[in-house]
Amino acid sequence: MFDRLKRDIAAVMERDPAATSAWAAYLMYPGLKAIRWQRRTHRLYMSGHTFLARAISQWVRHRTGIEIHPGATIGEGLFIDHGMGVVIGETTIIGDTVTIYQGVTLGGTGKERGKRHPTIEDCVVIGVGATVLGDITIGRGSKVGGGAVVVNNVPPNCTVVGVPGRVVVREGSRVDVVDLHHEDLPDPVVEMLRCIQHRIDRVEVRLARDEQAAAGAAAPAVPAAPMTPTPPEEN
Ligand SMILES: CC(C)(COP(=O)(O)OP(=O)(O)OC[C@H]1O[C@@H](n2cnc3c(N)ncnc32)[C@H](O)[C@@H]1OP(=O)(O)O)[C@@H](O)C(=O)NCCC(=O)NCCS
């Protein structure tokens, strides 16, 4: 039991530069309290005392601002920083050494039954206010940016940001996001008009040449008509 407590405190000390001492971590971190209570309620839940487990978890939510369903499976070294507004659903599975910031929801989409909450693999970081929905997997070592809404699987060692969440870094390399500059796109109508104009020009040249040839055969040559009408001269 004390080994586990030591590991929980170590997780706080390692990942929060603001943690000044083990005592401060033990006494003042709501995330640590919520995780320790969840382990107890999880045991109750698994032994069939679901009502009592839920009742205690609601009391813990009241005390810490963190709601972790007793049914959730949580690995070692989870660190919930600040904690307020964190919601972790019943069928969520969290691996080892995961970091979660305030306002994170690991929830269901409302359309599924059974396993309907995310699986978070080892060493994942989920930024402030991020929402991860459905029976999806956030791969080992990946980071979910603050404010992201993720509804699809994320491969290992990726960074996913935005709404909806898109992968911007994979295995340490930037993933190029196609960014269309609409003002630079070719206009198909203008292209077509240009093509038609070109063909008209060619036909006019040919016609002028034929007319010249015909006139030369019948009478003395006259100058060819201009290909494009010239505007009348102004006085
Ligand atoms: C996502 C995060 C983990 C950084 O991961 P990273 O792999 O180092 O990614 P980078 O910083 O290289 O950013 C990659 C791109 O995503 C963008 N980005 C980063 N975080 C973002 C976010 N939360 N939302 C939208 N875009 C974001 C960056 O601007 C960058 O885009 P660019 O290349 O066009 O400039 C970090 O930005 C983050 O959100 N951390 C959460 C921390 C937190 O919640 N702290 C709360 C403390 S109280």
**Could you give the CA distance from residue 181 to residue 97 in angstroms, rounded to a whole number?**
41
Pocket-forming residues, ligand 1, beta carbon under 6 Å:
82, 101, 125, 127-128, 143, 145-147, 159, 161-162, 168-169
Laid out side by side, the sheet with 158-161 consists of 79-80, 99-100, 125-126, 143-144, 158-161, 166-170, 173-174
> What's the pLDDT score for residue 205?
94
CB atoms within 10 A of CB 13: 15
Beta bridge partners, 160, equal 144, 167
Q: At what angle do helices 2-15 and 30-46 cross, to 10 degrees?
A: 140
Distance 92 CA to ligand 1 centre (A): 24
Pocket test for ligand 1, best of 12, 149, 159, 169 (most atoms within 8 A of CB): 159
User: What pLDDT was estimated at residue 176?
Assistant: 77
Residue 86's pLDDT is 98
Cα of 230 vs centre of ligand 1, distance in Å, is 62
Rounded Cα distance between 29 and 182, Å, is: 49
Q: Tell me the per-residue pLDDT of 12-67, one tens digit each, with 9 for 90 and over.
A: 999 999 999 999 999 999 999 999 999 999 999 999 999 999 999 999 999 999 99
Using CA positions, which residue lies closest to atom 18 of ligand 1?
161
147 CA closest ligand 1 atom index: 23
**Stated pTM of the model:** 0.79
Which tokens is 51 given?
């009502």
| Cα pseudo-dihedral 33, 34, 35, 38, rounded to 10 | 120
Q: What is the pLDDT of residues 187-200, one digit of tens each?
A: 889 889 999 999 99
Cis peptide before 155 (omega within 30 of 0): no
Judged on CB neighbours under 10 Å (0-12, 13-18, 19+), 101 is buried
Which residues in the chain land under pLDDT 70? 1, 177-181, 219-235
Q: What are phi and psi of 177, to 5 degrees?
A: -95, 130
Which residue pairs, CB below 8 angstroms and at least 24 apart, start in 153-158?
156/121
Q: What Å distances lie between residue 182 and 98, 158, 165, 185, 187, CA to CA?
A: 41, 29, 23, 5, 10
The CB-side HSE value for 136 (13 A sphere, CA atoms) comes to 18
Check residue 232 and give its pLDDT: 54
